[in-house]
Amino acid sequence: MCKQCKCEDCSFPGDGCILEPKAKNVPRVHADCIKAWADGAEIQSYEVRLGNWVDQKNPHFFLDKRYRVKPKEKVKKWRYVIRLIGTDRLVVSGNYYSSGDEFNTKVPDFLAVEKIQCTMKEFDSD
């Protein structure tokens, strides 16, 4: 039994116990990731042998491993030169779109003519 926290399962008996915080109101190891996972976030663990982050469907939250909430993937989007159908008038789209097809689907009265390369921005995926 651990002298510090009186727990039966402590793998660090004595003064080195890390299952229970030494001060009150100090979060436990991996608390943020555990809470995020409980709320539906995807969790990754760092695999030292592979040298990268790996998705964990059912993370065990071992004390000696590193965990993080999986970062959202970024989507590249651009503004487009657009033309009102039936006219020769060209304008620039006010919003950003990932493709001309996406623009043409969402704004049926206009036609995407050309992607403006210098307007590229990255957005979090939905």
pLDDT at 94 over 90: yes
Output phi, psi for 34, to 5 deg: -65, -45
25-42: per-residue pLDDT in tens? 767 888 999 999 999 999
Q: Residue 98: its pLDDT value, please?
A: 93
Q: Where are the domains of the chain?
A: 25-69, 74-124
Would you say residue 121 has pLDDT above 90?
yes
| Mean pLDDT, range 1-15, rounded to an integer | 48
Tokens representing 64?
């000696």
What kind and span of H or E run contains 94? none
8 Å CB contact between 2 and 17: yes
Beta-bridge partner residues of 44: 55, 68
- From CA 115, how far away is CA 122, in angstroms rounded? 15
